[in-house]
Amino acid sequence: MNQEFVLGKLADLMEWDNETARGEFAWLRLMSRMKYDGYPEFLAGMRFIESLTDWLQQFKPAHRVTAYKFVRENLVFVGTAEMRHLVELLYPETVQPRLLKRVADLRGIPQYQVWADPEATALYQKLLKKTLFIELSDGGRIDIFRRANPGVIKNEQVVTAPQINATKWDDLLKKLRKATGDVNDRFAFVFLVDDFTASGTTLLRLEEDAWDGKLLRFWNDIKTAVIPKYFEDDWTLCVHHYLATELAVKTVEERDEAARGELGADGWFRQKIEMSYGMRIPAEVGITPQSHEDFAAIVQEYYDNSIESEHMRKGGNDARFGFGGCGLPLILEHNTPNNAIALLWAETDGKEGQHPMRPLFRRRQRHS
């Protein structure tokens, strides 16, 4: 589609004068080229500017200024470069400090002296070889993590799925012992890696008086046959998300404590789970009726409840502000999370007199 034609149509929709249009066109071209056009769910010939123009048409003329202002001032787009940077920071900012602390504690020295102590340095290198990285979902980008640390992280330390069969566990242990030269070695650190958590629900939740989530499923997979054979007695479990909301940080820690208290020492991880996050999204980023009254009114009005699937209802009965009511103005470079405001991603036919929703950033649904 001819971009100049679309920009002209957008100017007409927004009723911009020539001076305003020139300024907005410059911003739109820059942001489209640098960030938004890289979103993979845009259709052919329908990149950001085209999608924005189509999205704005669903609103009454009186509401378009508020909707456009929201995109201009509040939208958060985590692009490929930003996410890759968070992946690359995992080793120097999270993995290395934890291993250094363990070595320093074992040697009885300050952490800054580890590299000056040959025995401590050798212990660090061995501990690193006894560290396993497991991807909780395809968003964990474990392949990028491995390539970002050549000569530091080996292929045999990286697993691309949390469910590992007995043959694979045997192979991992065999390669570990070959790397360390000790036939008695077992894994000392396990990092579970994922891209994003907004409500903490996917990781761990209490549902109909039973615990569920990725963390519980990992526990069930390893509690009987794996932990005694493949992990050291004082092994450490670390769960890392590249991106998290402050709500998720608080919720996950509370649920871990609740699960520990309810399930007991034999029904949950005995050691404290170490949670970490590449970047935290402040609570004030979220959109609420109190913080963004005008836009929240649009969110309320232009809504079709047909998006409230069985999965979405696990986060509450109303999905206007996304799963769990998180109200995030957030787009990730590979997909839009369902915790984002529904107006950003929902696409409906508008049956039974409801508003047909048009997405600005179409979401690839993982749940129906």
Q: What percent of the chain has pLDDT over 90?
A: 88
Does residue 239 have a pLDDT over 80?
Answer: yes
- Average pLDDT of the residues in 111-130: 97
Structural domain includes residue 367: no
Give the global pTM.
Answer: 0.93
Residue 16 covered by a domain: yes
53-112 pLDDT, tens digit per residue, is 999 999 999 999 999 999 999 999 999 999 999 999 999 999 999 999 999 999 999 999
Inside any domain, residue 365: no
In a domain? residue 324: yes
Residue 259: name the closest of 219, 314, 312 by CA. Answer: 219
Closest to 359 measured CA to CA, from 367, 340, 104, 80: 340
How high does pLDDT run on average in the chain? 94
Query: In the prediction, which pLDDT does 368 show?
Result: 39
Instruction: Give the phi and the psi of residue 194 in degrees, each rounded to 5.
Output: -145, 170
358 inside domain: no
204/245 same-domain check: yes
Where among 257, 283, 309 does a domain terminate?
Answer: 283
Q: How far is CA 29 from the centre of its chain?
A: 28
- Is the pLDDT assigned to residue 5 strictly greater than 70? yes
Residues 259 and 190 in one domain: yes
Domain boundary residue, one of 283, 299, 326: 283
Query: Do 204 and 122 sit in the same domain of this protein?
Result: yes
Q: How many residues does the chain have?
A: 368
Same domain for 266 and 306?
Answer: no
What pLDDT, on a 0 to 100 scale, did the predictor assign at position 366?
Answer: 62
Same domain, 247 and 129: yes
266 and 127 co-located in one domain: yes
Strands 205-207 and 210-212: antiparallel
Residues 136 and 273 in one domain: yes
β-strands 187-197, 231-245 pairing: parallel
Mean of the pLDDT values across residues 239-255? Answer: 97
Name the pLDDT band for 1 (thresholds 50, 70, 90): low
Structural domain ending residue among the three candidates 283, 312, 329 = 283
Q: Is residue 141 included in any domain, yes or no?
A: yes
Q: Are 272 and 311 spatial neighbours (Cβ–Cβ below 8 Å)?
A: no
| Residue 54 and residue 121 share a domain | no
Per the structure block, which two tokens stand in for 183? Answer: 């036939």
Instruction: Output helix, strand, coil percentages for the chain, rounded to the nearest 5.
Output: 50, 15, 35
* Residue span of the structural domain in which 50 resides: 3-74+287-353
* pLDDT at residue 2 greater than cutoff 90: no
Quick one: 112 and 46 in the same domain? no
Give the strand pairing for 187-197 and 131-135.
parallel
Shared domain for 30 and 69, answered yes or no, is yes
Long-range CB contacts (< 8 A, 24+ apart) of 221-228? 221/162, 221/163, 221/164, 225/166, 226/164, 226/169
pLDDT in tens, 223-233: 999 999 999 99
- The phi, psi pair for 60, rounded to 5°, reads -65, 150
How far lies 108's CA from each of 79, 94, 102, 103, 117, in Å? 43, 21, 10, 8, 11
162-204 residue pLDDT tens: 899 999 999 999 999 999 999 999 999 999 999 999 999 999 9
**Chain segment 127-153, per-residue pLDDT in tens:** 999 999 999 998 899 999 999 999 999
Helix (H, G, I), strand (E, B) or coil at 200: coil
Whether 95 is in a domain gets the answer yes
Q: What is the pLDDT of residues 93-104, one digit of tens each?
A: 999 999 999 999
Share of the chain above pLDDT 70, in %: 99
297's CB contacts (< 8 A; 6+ apart) are: 289
Q: Read off the tokens for 333.
A: 């470079």
Contact between 269 and 222 under an 8 Å Cβ cutoff? The reply is no
The yes-or-no verdict on residue 208 having pLDDT over 90 is no
Q: Please tell me whether residues 271 and 296 are part of one structural domain.
A: no
> Helix/strand/coil (H, E, C) string of 265-311?
CCCCCCCCCEEEEEEEECHHHCCCCCCCHHHHHHHHHCCCHHHCCHH
In degrees and rounded to multiples of 5, residue 293 shows phi and psi of -55, -45
Count how many Cα atoms sit within 13 Å of the Cα of residue 213 in the half-sphere of its side chain.
20
Residues 183 and 199 in one domain: yes
Check: CB of residue 231 under 8 Å from CB of residue 190: yes
Total number of domains in the chain: 2
Tokens 């070889």: give the residue.
129
Band of pLDDT at residue 50, cut at 50, 70 and 90: very high
Give 286-341 pLDDT, tens digit per residue: 999 999 999 999 999 999 999 988 777 777 778 999 998 999 999 999 999 999 99
Q: Would residue 86 count as lying in a domain?
A: yes
